[in-house]
Structure 1
Amino acid sequence: MSKTNRIHDMLYYLKDKKHFQLNDLMVTFNISKSTALRDITKLEELGAALVSHPGKHGGYTVVNSNITPPVYFSSSEIIAIFFAIQSLKGFKPLPFNTEYQSITNKYRQRLSASELHTISKLEARFSFSMDTMQADTPHLDFLINHILHNSNCSFTYKDSLRNVHPLTMSSTKGFWYLQAFDIDMNYIKTFRVDKIINPVEFAHDFTYDFASNSIPLHQQFQRTIPFSVSIKSDAIDRYKRDAFPNMTLTECGNTAHINGYYHPDELEFMSEYFLKFHTSIIAIQPDDLLNTMIALVQQQSNHLQGLTSSSLT
């Protein structure tokens, strides 16, 4: 390992430590005592505030604990970050009032001339099509903070008051979706974030510990309905473009199986989703999902026939 990389790794090694001994560096980085002493001098030059304590059990105290070392990226990582940043274009604004252009400017300012030239070539030769956010989400920061702090909140949604424990959030087809446990209804519900009104704090003892619970959310709470829809292989690309987090795809020869779950009040939404597959559908379970799809098709057919009849009279 080069000295530069070793010093960089030492900064990370010390960033959360309050005390260490010289032998800790010697063992961790497989270096001699003299090299460790020289490295400590270099660390201090880079801003690490270290206080030496003489004696057999002395060692060093890190005065400014939580050191934030500089981050270095390889040329391949710089290109990968460029592609990752492009995916942020559709998020306007980003959470916590962060703007895409601000992130891009800071990224470019830290590139060397040759790296900047490479990125400029990529920008000229690659185009990116992203789902643009379709609605304002003024309460996005509020909800994210409640997810991070594992706390409860209340808000109005479709003219009803909901007391919930926010769990996860996702972005699909230009909209933000919140998955939360409805404390009063006792099941998990998905809410479109731009439809949430007047969120406020809600004092309740319900909690969910992600760190100690590896069971998928929908398996822990009741009232979710499993579904299975088989499609022809020519519809796999369509699925991959429009899949939701509650779905998985299993390919099997010339067919594929979409499996997942939904809540009872999402039945019509799921029916409308699967109607997009048209004649590529081979089988549908459960029957409620199939029957709702049939009813929706009949409603649409009646509506279109009415338009035709009225245009002829």
Structure 2
Amino acid sequence: MSKSKRLIELMMTVNRMRKFTVKELADQFGVSARTILRDLQELSELGVPLYSEVGPHGGYQVLRERILPPIAFSEEEAVAMFFASHALRHYLFLPFEAESSAALQKFYYYMPGDVRDRIDEMKNRVDFLTHTRKQKAAFLGVLLDAAVEQRVVSIQYETKQGLSERSIQPVGIYASNGFWYCPAYCFMRGDFRLFRCDRMHSAAFDESGVEPLDHRYIHLGNWREFAAEKAVYVRMIAELTREGVQRCEAELCPVPRIDVKPDGSGRLDQEVPTSEMRYFAKFFLGLGNEAVVLEPKELVDSIRDILRELTEKYGQGV
């Protein structure tokens, strides 16, 4: 077996065994203990987190952070992977911010020179823009770990009435228009709620003894279906110009259902919660002449109410 192949198999073996002795590895690979020691030294220099223990029962351990074995990428795959990770730089906060930066640097460093040159030429030619917000979202890692491990988190949450302390069981986290959101089961409300992560002043694993619920089959795609308080929906219809279509597709989440015409204009037709009428009224007012809302009447009335408030505020003395 060649040395390079032995090192790759050795890396996968120690990741799997987690704890081992030099003799065990030497017997398994059919080489001397001295050869294994040299190989382990090379793996350590490559970044495999090995820890040695002395004594009669000593040996080696792989620390908690595992190192994946080498993966072969084509040039196009490598470029695609680089820019997929590169796009995350627009987010000021990520659940794995330091790791993604380190992975990107490592990925770039070990690429062949001509591939790095190609990426350098492309950096100013392609980008994935997103809204950059100044609001902090400092607890994304805790929330994501809690969602994966089915754990309860204690948070301090900013509401219109002030700070509220509550226990939640996160479903997951997602980013939209530069904000991070966390749908979670709220034990105080006894139902699912959607939380803005930047409004969390603190978040830590709960130590008060609140028992987590079995939410293994609840995820970002279906959590609303499990809400006890079912939202009341109405049909929303709006005629959109070409720019209106582009704005709706870029700014509304989830992406609305729009029947786009050949000239780029379109018709939005979908069910929306009645509780969000005020939000949609402000949104369509922001579109100006790029949209005409036809239904529901509640939404049209809400737009008129906001226009009346603005007229009273800015129409004085006119």
What TM-score, normalized to structure 2?
0.67
Runs of 4+ in 1 over 6 A off after TM superposition: 9-18
- Give the secondary structure class of the aligned counterpart of 2:182: strand
Q: 1:301 maps to what in 2?
A: 311
Structure 1 residue aligned with 2:258: 250
Confirm or deny that 1:229 pairs with 2:237.
yes
- Checking the alignment, whether the CA contact within 8 Å between 2:249 and 2:256 is kept in structure 1 is no
Contact 1:89 1:132 in 2 (8 A): no
Q: Is the counterpart of residue 176 in structure 1 residue 171 in structure 2?
A: no
Change (3 A) 1:267 1:178: farther
Q: Note the 1:178-197 alignment, pairs <5 A.
A: 178-197=182-201
* Match in the other structure for 1:53: none
**Partners of 2:238 and 2:267 within 8 A in 1:** yes
Aligned residues: CA RMSD: 3.9
- 1:164 is aligned with what amino acid? I
How do 1:1-313 and structure 2 match up within 5 A? 68-98=68-98, 101-126=101-126, 129-155=129-155, 156-158=157-159, 159=162, 160-200=164-204, 201=206, 203-210=210-217, 216-221=222-227, 222-227=229-234, 228-234=236-242, 235-245=244-254, 247-251=255-259, 253=261, 255-262=266-273, 264=275, 266-306=276-316, 309=317
Contact 2:93 2:138 in 1 (8 A): no
Q: 1:184 to 1:288 in 2, by over 3 A?
A: farther
| Identity within the alignment, % | 16
Q: Do the aligned residues in 1 keep the contact of 2:94 with 2:140 (CA within 8 Å)?
A: no
Residue 193 of structure 1 and its aligned partner are, at CA, apart by 0.9
Distance 1:252 1:174, change over 3 A: closer
Cα separation, partners in 2 of 1:146 and 1:271, compared to 1, 3 Å: farther
- Tell me by how many angstroms 1:16 deviates: 9.5
CA shift in 2, pair 1:267/1:242, >3 Å: same
| Rounded Cα–Cα distance in structure 2 between residues aligned with 1:277 and 1:168 | 31
Secondary structure in 2 matching 1:277? helix
Identify if the C-alpha distance between structure 1 residues 77 and 15 changes in structure 2 by more than 3 Å, giving closer, same or farther.
Answer: farther
Q: How much does 1:244 deviate?
A: 0.9
Distance 1:164 1:154 in 2: 6
Gaps of 5+ in 2: 18-28, 31-35, 41-61
**Cα distance change, pair 207–298 in 1 and its aligned pair in 2 (3 A):** farther
Distance 2:191 2:183 in 1: 11
Report which stretch shifted further, 226-235 or 79-88. Answer: 226-235
Once the 2 structures are TM-superposed, how far is the Cα of residue 100 of structure 1 from its aligned partner?
6.0
Aligned pair count? Answer: 264
TM-score computed with the length of structure 1 as normaliser = 0.68
- Report the CA distance between 1:72 and its aligned residue: 1.5
Q: Distance in 2 between matches of 1:231 and 1:14?
A: 61
Whether the 8 Å CA contact 2:183–2:220 is kept in 1: the answer is no
* Cα offsets for 1:266-286 (capped at 9, x unmatched): 443333223223334344544
Give how far 1:110 is off: 1.2
Contact 1:134 1:174 in 2 (8 A): no
CA distance in 1, matches of 2:108, 2:200: 36
Residues in 2 aligned to 1:216 and 1:126: alpha-carbon distance in whole angstroms: 34
Secondary structure of the structure 1 residue equivalent to 2:259: strand
- Report the equivalent of 2:46: none
1:291 is displaced (CA, Å) by 2.7
Q: Is the 8 A contact 2:277 2:299 kept in 1?
A: yes
